[in-house]
Amino acid sequence: MAEAVTYELLHKDAKTGARRGVIHTPHGDIQTPVFMPVGTQAAVKCMRPEQVRDMGAEIILSNTYHLYMRPGHDLIKEAGGLHKYMNWDRAILTDSGGFQVFSLGRLRKITEEGVSFQSHIDGSSHMLSPEKCMEIQQALGSDIMMAFDECAPYPAERDYIVDSMHRTMRWLERCKAAWTNRENQALFGIMQGGVFKDLRRESAEIITDMDLPGYAVGGLSVGEPKDIMLDVMDDCVELLPENKPRYLMGVGTPDYLFEAVERGIDMCDCVEPTRIARHGIATTSHGRINLKNAQYTRDFTPLDDECDCYACRHYSKAYIRHMIKAGEAMGPMLLSEHNLHFLINMMKNMRKAIEEDRFMEYKTEFYEKYGGFD
Amino acid sequence: MAEAVTYELLHKDAKTGARRGVIHTPHGDIQTPVFMPVGTQAAVKCMRPEQVRDMGAEIILSNTYHLYMRPGHDLIKEAGGLHKYMNWDRAILTDSGGFQVFSLGRLRKITEEGVSFQSHIDGSSHMLSPEKCMEIQQALGSDIMMAFDECAPYPAERDYIVDSMHRTMRWLERCKAAWTNRENQALFGIMQGGVFKDLRRESAEIITDMDLPGYAVGGLSVGEPKDIMLDVMDDCVELLPENKPRYLMGVGTPDYLFEAVERGIDMCDCVEPTRIARHGIATTSHGRINLKNAQYTRDFTPLDDECDCYACRHYSKAYIRHMIKAGEAMGPMLLSEHNLHFLINMMKNMRKAIEEDRFMEYKTEFYEKYGGFD
């Protein structure tokens, strides 16, 4: 039986771990490395799907936990699947819901079976298990399904991470067993192990032994210092096979994207571009700007003089600031468009740089212009 | 000197007062009768200008009071005028700000000079007078400016309406005197007089004597019963000259639009289509529906089976209901698109019906399908 999702390596950067590839899916090809916009509740916030597509997005991420809670995976299945329901005909990756369920804190309880929790909407009781997680994602019909895992917090005791990682590995076996729609949907395994390199190695061996269509690095960027994160990531990427896509979960600021791609990561996602948009913040080639700052009151230039997105072609900072201050939906609409376009365009530039073996040169140029990260 | 705005009568319906015309403006022609979407704060809420244009809108309304308060007319002038600032290259009508200022209630005080009031944003003190109103609208650069008037409440004593109407007429003289940019902007006079027909007649005589490019019927649809409103409107329209556009202010539900057009009104505006969108309500050819109602949970049909708007072509009621329930911006975005498209398409059908001398037949068909108004 043909795999639903396959990876093709096109070129490796001569000087770094960065690599240029294509992921083939039932809903089209994805040029990698790629940034995936997030459509948590079956919509990329403040954006029409055509706008997301037209800026070059070939895949979006949607959240299993949220869709399970509302409107329900059975309803989406009845609607003809998530693609049709939300009017997005390109690829979709769904997360496992694990991250959200574990984030519920006191409202959830972990057992070998899975996680029991109370809905953040109405307090109703639910259980998410590897089998349930696969049932939901197969009802949604996403192209790439993520295994049910525990994304352990930082800091955490080694003993906790050992237990958690091993349980996640047992859950992955159960996910694989419950994965029936292999012709149309791929299952990606997730490496855990916190910041402990030996545990990462053990986890990597277990997941790669299962020969899945793709692998993710989970449990990073959860609060650990940047240098520790980058050090662990160095190891993680090397532990993953070259012939499968590598996905670093929940990362989406320019600096982390550069660091991840430099090490050989192919896929990233983050809610940040649309979230900061709702707070009046734009990412530009000269760094971040907050449109609420008074200095933009009479600034009639575009958000970014190097950007050709819809917002930059048609509107000034002064106008967008007014929209934000006046509470008009147009403010987040324009900033979401710009912020997503910015990251997608940056990834496009990274791909071109890799093809030309000048990834580090592009990174250096970008950083110099951007001027410092947090 | 050529008038900035002129009216051309194309055809009169054989059986009613309805008429088909064109208003020529510096920013293109407007086919009448027309419904004008409202962009209060320099944006039609939840909509990109291209979307408003693509559904056929040839003119939008923007609010002088709101733009004066924030971001300020001087800023918009500096930005190159309202058209450029908000990325709308078709016609714009600005109201006078009077309606909003009078709505401030205890925060405002009326004198012969004008109205002093406190900003709803920061409580700062301001004075809006006929001269100031013209200064603001000329800075904004709208194609059609409305005279500064008092939109008196209903019910009101006759004595109050007499005084108010006469003051509004004196204010109109001052607006006309302060109207300097006649090559690019038109001034419309506003008839007042409450529900008193003799006062309406007197007001109509005063404003038409001033030979302005267009006239509005103000002070209706402010709470009076529908039969009284329609009775007064009968008279009002007849008092206005045939060679100038006639604008009924603040009206935008299907029934009122039909009644207005039937009597010979050419222009209407209302915030309602986008306001009800934010409350989860859609206007359809079969009446209004509230997407919050549980009956739409698994309704996978479009909002309106006769509509070809973006929302109806791509989304189901079930999806839009989910967006509304989940607090996603996409909900109001899709419903605003649909509701505006619905009214604009209805006006297009009215224009065609007038051309074919079958306005009443179209009205009857529409009402039968729509099924009852409030």
B297-331 tens-digit pLDDT: 999 999 999 999 999 999 999 999 999 999 999 99
Q: Which of A95, A143, A266, A304 is catalytic?
A: A95
Would you place residue A1 in the very low, low, confident or very high pLDDT band (cuts 50, 70, 90)? low
Residue B286 sits at φ, ψ, to 5 deg, of: -110, 20
Q: What are the angstrom distances between the C-alpha of A229 and each of A153, A195, A249, A256, A264?
A: 13, 8, 13, 10, 15
Mutate to test the interface with A, among B45, B122, B328, B334 (most CBs of A within 10 A): B328
Q: Which amino acid is at B62?
A: S
Grouping H, G, I as helix, E, B as strand and the rest as coil, residue B14 is coil
Sign of CA dihedral B33, B38, B44, B45: negative
Distance CA A5, CA A246 (A): 13
**What residue of B is the nearest CA neighbor of A328?**
B45
3-state secondary structure A282-350: EEECCEEEECCCHHHCCCCCCCCCCCCCHHHHHCCHHHHHHHHHCCCCHHHHHHHHHHHHHHHHHHHHH
Partner-chain residue, chosen from B66, B325, B328, that has the shortest CB–CB distance to A45: B328
At A340, list the tokens.
């997503």
Report the alpha-carbon distance of residue B229 to residue B222 in Å, rounded.
Answer: 9
* Nearest to B151, CA basis, from B160, B139, B164: B164
Tell me what pLDDT residue B128 has.
96
Q: Estimate the crossing angle of helix A197-209 against helix A226-238, to 10 degrees.
A: 30
Answer whether A335's CB lies under 8 Å from A281's CB.
yes
Mean pLDDT score of chain A: 96
A198 CB-contact burial (10 Å; exposed 0-12 / middle 13-18 / buried 19+):
exposed
Average pLDDT over residues B169-174: 98
Identified catalytic residue from A143, A149, A266, A269: A269
**CB A22: neighbour CB atoms within 10 A?**
18
Which range, of A42-51, B98-107, B207-216, averages the lowest pLDDT? B98-107
What are the catalytic residues of B? 95, 269
B243-262 pLDDT tens trace = 999 999 999 999 999 999 99
Cross-chain residue pair A328–B85, CB shorter than 8 Å: no
Contacts of A70 in chain B (CB under 8 A): 322, 325-326
Residue B55's alpha-carbon distances to A244, B49, B102, B273, in angstroms, are 46, 10, 33, 14
B87–A315 C-beta distance less than 8 A: yes
Residues with Cβ < 8 Å from A148, sequence gap 6 or more? A96, A97, A98, A114, A128, A129, A130, A133, A134, A168, A171, A172, A174, A175
Structure tokens at B250: 């603040």
| Chain A residues whose C-beta sits inside 8 Å of any chain B C-beta | 41-43, 45-48, 66, 70-71, 75, 78-80, 85-87, 297-298, 300, 310, 314-316, 318-319, 321-323, 325-326, 328-330, 332-333
CB contact under 8 A, B322 and A79: no
C-beta separation of B248 from B222 below 8 A: no
pLDDT in tens, B289-298: 999 999 999 9
Taking all residues of chain B, what is their mean pLDDT, rounded to a whole number? 96
**Are residues B21 and B34 in contact, defined by beta-carbon separation less than 8 angstroms?**
no
> How many angstroms separate the CA atoms of B10 and B362, rounded?
19
Residue range B182-211: mean pLDDT, rounded: 98
CA–CA distance, B275 with B190 (Å, rounded to integer) = 25
- Grade residue A296 by pLDDT with cuts at 50, 70 and 90: very high
CA dist., res. A96 & res. A115, Å (int): 12
- Give B139's contacts (C-beta < 8 A, 6+ positions apart): B73, B74, B76, B77
Q: Is B194 left (phi over 0), alpha (psi -120 to 50) or beta?
A: left
Count CB atoms within 10 A of the CB of residue B275. Answer: 16
Q: Dump pLDDT digits (tens) for A318-359.
A: 999 999 999 999 999 999 999 999 999 999 999 999 999 999
Residues whose CB is less than 8 angstroms from the CB of residue A197 and which lie 6 or more positions away in sequence, other chains included: A232, A235
Q: Running DSSP on this structure, what letter comes out for residue A148?
A: P
Neighbours of A166 (CB within 10 A): 16
* Gap between the Cα atoms of A296 and A275, Å rounded: 20
A70, A80, A87 member nearest B315 (Cβ): A87
The one-letter amino acid at A94: T
- The neighbouring-strand residues paired with A116 are A109, A127
pLDDT tens column, B327-363 = 999 999 999 999 999 999 999 999 999 999 999 999 9
Q: Is the pLDDT of residue B276 over 70?
A: yes
Rounded to an integer, what distance in angstroms lies between the CA atom of residue B205 and that of residue B220?
18
| Residue B371: Cβ within 10 Å count | 10
Nearest-CA distance from A285 to chain B in Å? 24
> pLDDT tens digits, residue range B78-130?
999 999 999 999 999 999 998 998 888 878 999 999 999 999 899 999 999 99
Burial class of residue B227 (count of CB atoms within 10 Å of its CB; 0-12, 13-18, 19+)? exposed
Torsion of CA B222, B227, B229, B230, to 10 degrees: 140
DSSP 8-state class, residue B122:
T
Q: Which amino acid is present at A135? A: E
Closest partner CB to A322 (pick from B46, B70, B333): B70
Tell me whether residue A95 is one of the annotated catalytic residues: yes
B1 — pLDDT class (breaks 50, 70, 90): low
Nearest to A326 among B70, B329, B330 (CB): B70
Of A100, A266, A196, nearest in space to A204 by CA? A196
Taking contacts as CB-CB distances below 8 angstroms, the residues of chain B near A324 are none
CA distances from A12 to A9, A181, B38 (A): 8, 32, 54
Which uninterrupted H or E stretch holds B367? helix B359-370
Residue A159 a catalytic site member = no
Average pLDDT over residues A130-151: 97
Q: Do B79 and A325 touch (CB under 8 A)?
A: no
The token pair at B280 is 């989860």
Report the alpha-carbon distance of residue B213 to residue B188 in Å, rounded.
Answer: 6
Rounded Cα gap, residues B86 and A315, in angstroms: 7
- Tell me: pLDDT of A12 over 90: yes
Contact call for B319 and A79, based on CB within 8 A: yes
Q: DSSP for B196-229, please give it.
A: -HHHHHHHHHHHHHT--SEEEE-S-SSS--HHHH
Can you give the pTM of this predicted structure?
Answer: 0.98
What was the pLDDT predicted at B372? 74
Q: Which residues, including other chains, have CB under 8 Å from residue B137's CB and lie 6 or more apart?
A: B64, B73, B94, B96, B145, B146, B185
What local confidence, expressed as pLDDT, does residue A374 receive? 59
CA distance B183 to B154: 37
What ranges in A112-253 are assigned the alpha helix state H?
A: 130-140, 158-178, 197-209, 226-238
Does pLDDT of B35 surpass 80?
Answer: yes
- Interface contact flag, B326 A70, Cβ < 8 Å: yes
What is the rounded (10 degree) CA torsion for A346, A348, A351, A352?
Answer: -100
CA A328 to chain B, closest CA, distance in angstroms equals 7
Place of tokens 């998410």: A128
Amino acid identity of residue A150, one-letter, is E
- Among A80, A93, A105, A84, which residue's Cα sits nearest to residue A37? A93
Task: Quickly list DSSP for B140-190.
Answer: HT-SEEEPP-----SS--HHHHHHHHHHHHHHHHHHHHH---TTT-EEEEE
Q: Answer yes or no: is pLDDT of B2 > 70.
A: yes
**Cβ-proximal residues to A358 (8 Å cutoff; 6+ apart), any chain:** none
